[in-house]
Structure 1
Amino acid sequence: MYDTDGSRLWATGTDNRAGARRGAPLWSGTSLHAGNAVAAAYDSTVVLTQQADGNPVLADAGRALWSAGTWGHPGAYLFVQSDGNVVVYDDTARPLWSTRTWGHQGAYLVVQTDGDLVLYDADGVVPLWASGTHV
């Protein structure tokens, strides 16, 4: 189901785009706040967690694979913007980190089961940014 501006409001979870088959997607317009986490799959040990200190961390079985390096900013959150840029904002909406991938309407972030965090274009074909942490 989509809003009038084309943003996704709800999905069945049966999306067949390439990125969605690899793990758990964070769709355009999704935010991850302190204490929230997304696992690559229901039985996966690969998890992206927004820590209370403001740092999003990708880990496998508790071992850190990647982080944005934004610790020291309690209240910060990760946001997948509709323009294709993923940004960590502090609690006053000041950007702390980004993928610098604006200009890609509908791009989405995937926590992959292989341990990589990847931002795909709207079609799920072209990777725009990746953490480079596949295990």
Structure 2
Amino acid sequence: MPNWCRGTLRVRGTKENLTKFVLEGLQPVDYFGEDLEVLKMDEYSQVKCSRCWIKGTRRGFILDLDEYIDDWNDEGKIAIGFEAEFAWCISAEELLQSCKKYGVDMRIHAFERGMQFNQIIEIIDGEITKDEEVKFDDYNWDCICPNIGG
């Protein structure tokens, strides 16, 4: 059973690229990782999923996806946030491949309570601009969110 590195994955891009990332880059799965029916937008421009695998990652998931794509601004870049969890740690290289494929930027500050570290990743314009692991002498005191992750 892995420890889970959790945080809010922020994804930024044009409405077209974000829509493509959500509908094509995320795969609904059950708790055991078995594929479910692909994501679809309903008649209200809403996309929902309780657990989605981020395609191209070893074990990266989006939890409780509930987005109204119609509400997104059509002009320029916009950002959305997803509650995400990754087994053990996050691979910046895996996220980079999604960023390049869908033309989006990503940023996450994730927390791993069990192994007591944080991970900060930022990918902008197809480049990893930050990939840091933050260690603590006293995790429960020094970490800003010591109860997140597992």
Q: TM over 0.5, yes or no?
A: no
TM-score of the aligned structures, taking structure 1 as reference length: 0.28
Q: Which of the two has greater helix per residue? A: 2
Per the normalisation by structure 2, the TM-score is 0.26
Q: Which has the higher strand share?
A: 2
